[in-house]
């Protein structure tokens, strides 16, 4: 075994283990237990839930956290064509992929021992899925747009469908049902599906990971830990800047939610990276990409505890930006912005 283990290293193992199991518990409780709450329900990424979309369409009330398929590719700005979001995601995918390719050509595949490259790759995966989903959404958008003369017929057909649904099984629903266009009703009725939730989870995971990566790089590594191997250059500066820039640009126009409980996926992501470091060092790899991950230091438990705790403000900072977007834009642009 190429890794020397000291007694205080077991504290580090315990910190990572508790974080990993805690994250799994949160995911199981919020996405795997199959509970249905009218105010806080999230469609499950792990377990398929009963089809509740008929209830949502008939009641006109969509629970917080319900993600429709159109929410993945439409914008929070009214009147903004879906093709603009598609163009942004596709351009982000191409540019980030180009920088990752440059990074690999410059330093070789061994560069993936760094958390930066893990996170940068996850950002690319998000934009790749987002590009495909947006492309599909544009096709759906064009196929569902109808001439004005057909709108009345579609609304009449929709009214009959809703009335028949009420007659069959939703007698307890009260209040007035607001009729919408066929396109709007389908936006409520269609769930995101597995790939849609995978896209949303990738978005929320890389959001926290990008904040953590850039803060550690610019606030710790550059000022205090720079050496010949970590020397700042244009490529490294771009890798630790563009990831956040493109993600924030996407966040400024997309309509995705940002629930707090999916911090658990961010924690699992970081724990997986730390375990990966332990494994390769046990197999004989000698260089620690980040000095604060070294297990040979007596200060290692403190470093690991700080790294575990810092996940909360990193995820919280991005969540705060999303809340600020919803609050500020809805106040200044009430006719154009949809929270």
Encode the chain (339 residues) as per-residue pLDDT tens digits. 567 788 888 999 999 999 999 999 999 888 765 444 444 444 455 544 444 444 444 444 444 445 667 778 888 888 888 999 999 999 999 999 999 999 999 989 889 999 999 999 999 999 999 999 999 888 888 887 634 333 444 444 444 444 444 444 444 434 433 334 444 444 444 566 777 888 989 999 999 999 999 999 898 888 876 654 556 788 989 999 999 999 999 999 998 888 899 999 999 999 999 999 999 988 888 888 888 899 988 999 999 999 999 999 999 999 999 999 999 988 888 888 876
Q: Could you tell me if 304 and 288 are in contact, meaning their C-beta atoms sit under 8 angstroms apart?
A: no
Q: Classify each residue of 166-191 as buried b or exposed e, where b means 16 or more C-beta atoms within 10 Å of its C-beta.
A: eeeeeeeeeeeeeebebbebbbbebb
Q: Mind giving me the DSSP string for 88-113?
A: HHHHHHHHHHHHHHHHHHHH-GGGGG
* Spacing of C-alpha 249 from chain mean position: 14
pLDDT at res. 192: 62
189: which residues sit within 8 A by CB, 6+ positions away? 53, 54, 56, 57, 68
Give yes or no for a contact between 53 and 185, defined as CB atoms under 8 angstroms apart.
Answer: no
Q: What is the DSSP secondary structure assignment for residue 267, as one 8-state letter? A: H
Query: Cα 79 to chain center, whole Å?
Result: 24
At residue 173, the pLDDT reads 39
Q: What are phi and psi of 62, to 5 degrees?
A: -105, 120
Burial of 288 (0-12, 13-18, 19+ CB in 10 A): middle
Per-residue DSSP letter, 60: -
Query: Is the full-model pTM beyond 0.85?
Result: no
> What is the number of H-type helices and E-type strands within the chain?
13, 0
């Amino acid at each position: 075994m190429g890794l020397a283990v000291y007694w205080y290293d077991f504290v580090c193992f315990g910190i990572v283990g508790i974080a990993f199991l805690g994250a799994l518990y949160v995911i199981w409780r919020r996405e795997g237990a199959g509970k249905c709450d009218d105010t806080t329900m999230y469609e499950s990424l792990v377990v398929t839930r009963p089809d509740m979309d008929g209830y949502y369409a008939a009641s006109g009330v969509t629970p917080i956290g319900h993600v429709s398929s159109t929410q993945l590719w439409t914008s929070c700005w009214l009147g903004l064509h879906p093709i603009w979001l598609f163009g942004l995601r596709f351009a982000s995918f191409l540019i980030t992929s180009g920088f990752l390719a440059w990074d690999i050509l410059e330093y070789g595949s061994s560069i993936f021992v760094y958390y930066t490259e893990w996170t940068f790759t996850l950002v690319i995966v998000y934009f790749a899925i987002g590009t495909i989903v947006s492309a599909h959404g544009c096709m759906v958008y064009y196929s569902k747009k109808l001439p004005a003369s057909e709108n009345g017929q579609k609304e009449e057909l929709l009214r009959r469908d809703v009335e028949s649904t009420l007659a069959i099984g939703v007698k307890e629903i009260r209040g007035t049902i607001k009729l919408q266009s066929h396109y709007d009703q389908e936006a409520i009725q269609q769930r995101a599906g597995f790939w849609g939730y995978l896209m949303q989870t990738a978005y929320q995971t890389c959001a926290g990971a990008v904040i953590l990566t850039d803060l550690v790089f610019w606030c710790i590594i550059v000022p205090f830990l720079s050496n010949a191997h970590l020397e700042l250059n244009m490529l490294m500066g771009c890798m630790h800047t563009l990831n956040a820039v493109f993600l924030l640009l996407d966040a400024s126009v997309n309509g995705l939610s940002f629930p707090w409980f999916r911090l658990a996926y961010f924690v699992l992501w970081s724990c997986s990276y730390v375990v990966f470091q332990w494994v390769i060092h046990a197999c004989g790899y000698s260089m620690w990409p980040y000095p604060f991950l070294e297990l040979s230091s007596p200060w290692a438990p403190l470093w690991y505890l700080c790294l575990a705790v810092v996940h909360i403000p990193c995820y919280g900072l991005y969540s705060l930006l999303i809340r600020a977007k919803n609050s500020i834009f809805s106040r200044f642009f009430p006719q154009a912005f949809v929270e």
